[in-house]
Amino acid sequence: MNELENIFAISIDNPVFFKRALTHPSYTKENDIPYTENYERMEFLGDAVLKLAASRILFEMYPDYTEGDLSKIRSIVVSDSTLSKIAHDIGLCDLIIMARHEAKQGIANIESVCACAFEAVLGAYYMDNKLASLIPFLEKMLMPYIKEVDKNFEKYNAKAILQEYTQSLTKETPVYNLVNETGPDHNKTFEVEVSYHGRVVAKGTGKSKKEAEQHAAYDACKILGAI
């Protein structure tokens, strides 16, 4: 709890919420503890808290953007990829409680696990009546990613741009195929190729299939002249 308070710079009044927020489902299963004591329910709540905070920041930051533009930026900013990076940067992933086998396998470093834990802690702070203190923290954490996404929107939205472009030409949609994956389960690298009109246009790599697809789509957009 002390480490968590240092990370967020927000005091904790009810530790029980935060213990749940940091407990991986493997731990409750291994120790025959009710599933309500792991982070899944708290993550559900934290997801709503995160979207509310991100929406407020975007709403005030870009007064001329449409609802559609704001939604697109938000979806990228609150993605597992972004949340995992934040969780790693602040040292939150090191605090996740999990079963011995999963801990040895390095499961705490998996993108989705780190993202879930981060959202769960947000839910815990909400339950601890610290929403007012949480908003400034989230603004600080999310602002660099919001600016990056807005500045390089085509890069982050490449899959949608590519699909709109190909459908405007032939009504065909791009096809993504996983061609290779390397590394241990907790730290895989994926390679994806994207095809259009029966031929491979580009390839991309990433720490998740979705990230690899975005990279492949971005290169395909440049090759086809969509951007």
Q: Which residues are catalytic?
A: 47, 119
What is the CA 39 to chain-centroid distance, rounded? 16
Q: What is the largest CA-CA distance in the chain?
A: 59
Burial letters 181-213, b for 16+ CB under 10 A, else e = eeeeeeeeebbbbbbbeeeebbbbebbbebbbb
How far apart (Å, rounded) are the C-alpha atoms in residues 225 and 227? 5
Distance, CA of 54 to CA of 78 (rounded, Å): 8
Q: Work out the angle at residue 111's Cα, subtended by the Cα atoms of residues 133 and 186, and round it to the nearest 5 degrees.
A: 140
Q: How far apart are CA 222 and CA 227, in angstroms?
A: 6
Alpha-carbon distance of 132 to 81, in angstroms, equals 26
Start-to-end C-alpha separation, the chain: 48
Encoded amino acid at 27, one letter: Y
